[in-house]
Amino acid sequence: SVYDVLKVKSFFEKKGVQKFVIAKIERPDAVRNFDEILNAADGIMIARGDLGVETPIEKLPVLQKKLIKKANLAAKPVIVATQMLVSMTEDTLPRRAEVTDVANAILDGADGVMLSEETAVGKYPVEAVEMMAKIARSTEEYRDSIRLERIRDILSSFPKRGSIKEAITRSVIDALCTVDVKYILTPTKTGLTARLISRFKPKQWILAFATDESVCNTLMFSYGVYPFCMEEEFDENDIIRLIKGLGLVEADDTVLLTEGKPIGKTVGTNTIRIFTIP
């Protein structure tokens, strides 16, 4: 329940720490109160094993799609779990229906797919992970054909008068539809800007830069985000030197940068720039 989420968050706040709380949705009352739980939690896990027992099993596929869509609209990472490749606890290859299940979760908009008994007690844990990664890579190649539909869905949900961050996000997506950029560069203090962009599932990697290690760790849950944990305060030049040094970009590559101005002030993201690497 939302009370459980708030109780956990309150516990950590009293300890003086902030934790990324993922709400596990596995009971009918959690589904009924999903909007409140989604608002309170930092992420969502759809645990289909217990959920399939507690709710009519024939309704589970559509329910999964609805919950994923709501999490996407809220820019909260969502994980689909339980029995995804369960036959691989005993066999070296999954069932065809399981392969389709994993692929459909990705196409629905899941940020992550999760193994449980396949790796905890299964005979072929490494093969199960490799198989899931192979399915994900293959499915991602197809995602381009449904990307515009996802963009339309999310943009249509935007309020007419939204936040500056929402406006910036819309501008980023508009730019990606017209300009061929290699990476999206996102300096961030909280990770929010990276997650707002991630929900559109762009084909470009989102390179997020933060000084807070916990922010970098939590961004690993979001689709297409590769976080860099910086040791000290940084600026645009530091970012360019870093990604050039790592061989991610070369001179004349085009990138899109989101940033907050004036630089160094806690103002949030309010600017985007598209430029070529010098």
- Enter the DSSP assignment of 213: H
pTM, full prediction: 0.88
* CATH number at 2-146: 3.20.20.60
pLDDT, tens digit (0-9, with 9 covering 90-100), for 231-264: 888 888 899 999 999 999 999 999 999 987 765 5
Residue 161, pLDDT score: 61
- Enter the DSSP assignment of 59: G
Share of the chain above pLDDT 70, in %: 91
Backbone torsions φ then ψ of 209, nearest 5 degrees: -125, 125
Q: What are the domain boundaries of the chain?
A: 2-146, 164-277
Res. 44 pLDDT band, cuts 50 70 90: very high
- Enter the DSSP assignment of 207: E
Whose tokens are 């976080």? That residue is: 227
Residue 224, pLDDT score: 93
pLDDT above 70 for 145 = no
What is the sign of the dihedral through the CA atoms of 247, 250, 253 and 259?
positive
Architecture of domain 164-277: 3-Layer(aba) Sandwich (3.40)
pLDDT, tens digit (0-9, with 9 covering 90-100), for 62-94: 999 999 999 998 999 999 999 999 999 999 999
Which residues lie across from 187 on neighbouring strands?
209
Residue 21, pLDDT score: 94
Residue 146, pLDDT score: 58
CA dist 76 and 222 (Å) reads 8
Res. 265 pLDDT band, cuts 50 70 90: low
